Amino acid sequence: MHKIIAWYNQNRRRVWVTILAVVVIAAIAYTLMNRMNESLQNPTGRAQTSRIDENSLNSVTMQSQKSAISGNNITSSQEEVNTIDNFVSYCNSGKIQEAYGLLSDECKEEMYSNVNMFKDRYYSSIFGSGKKNVTMQNWTGNIFRVDFNEDALSTGKVSSGNSFQDYITIVTNSEGEKRLNINRYIGRKNINKTKTVENLEITVTKKDSYMDYEYYTFEVKNGNERAVLLGDVNNLEATYLTDENGLIYKGRMNEIGQENLIVRANETKTIRINYFNEFSSSRKIKKLIFSTVVIGFEEDKENYDKVIPITFDL
pLDDT per residue as tens digits for the range 27-65:
566 655 655 555 444 444 444 445 788 778 889 998 888
Using one digit for the tens of pLDDT, what is the confidence trace for 77-98?
899 999 999 999 999 999 999 9
- Answer with the one of 154, 183, 212 that is the final residue of a domain: 183
- Answer with the one of 156, 183, 210 that is the final residue of a domain: 183
Q: How far is CA 64 from the centre of its chain?
A: 20
Is it the case that residue 16 has pLDDT exceeding 70? no
Backbone angles phi, psi at 218, to 5 degrees: -125, 145
**What's the mean pLDDT in 276-292?**
94
Residue 130's alpha-carbon distances to 48, 92, 127, 153, 290, in angstroms, are 37, 7, 5, 11, 48
Q: How many CA atoms lie within 13 A of 176 on its CB side?
A: 0
Q: What is the pTM of this model?
A: 0.79
Q: Could you tell me if 59 and 160 lie in one domain?
A: yes
Q: Could you tell me if 205 and 174 lie in one domain?
A: no
Q: Could you tell me if 114 and 151 lie in one domain?
A: yes
pLDDT at 30: 61
- Answer with the one of 146, 165, 183 that is the final residue of a domain: 183
The domain of 300 spans: 188-313
Query: At 153, which CATH number?
Result: 3.10.450
Domain assignment present for residue 77? The answer is yes
Residue 129 to residue 97: CA distance in whole angstroms: 18
Q: Could you tell me if 229 and 109 lie in one domain?
A: no
Percent of the chain with pLDDT over 90: 64
Q: Could you tell me if 229 and 131 lie in one domain?
A: no
> At residue 167, what is the residue type?
Y
Average pLDDT, the chain: 86
Is it the case that residue 8 has pLDDT exceeding 60? no
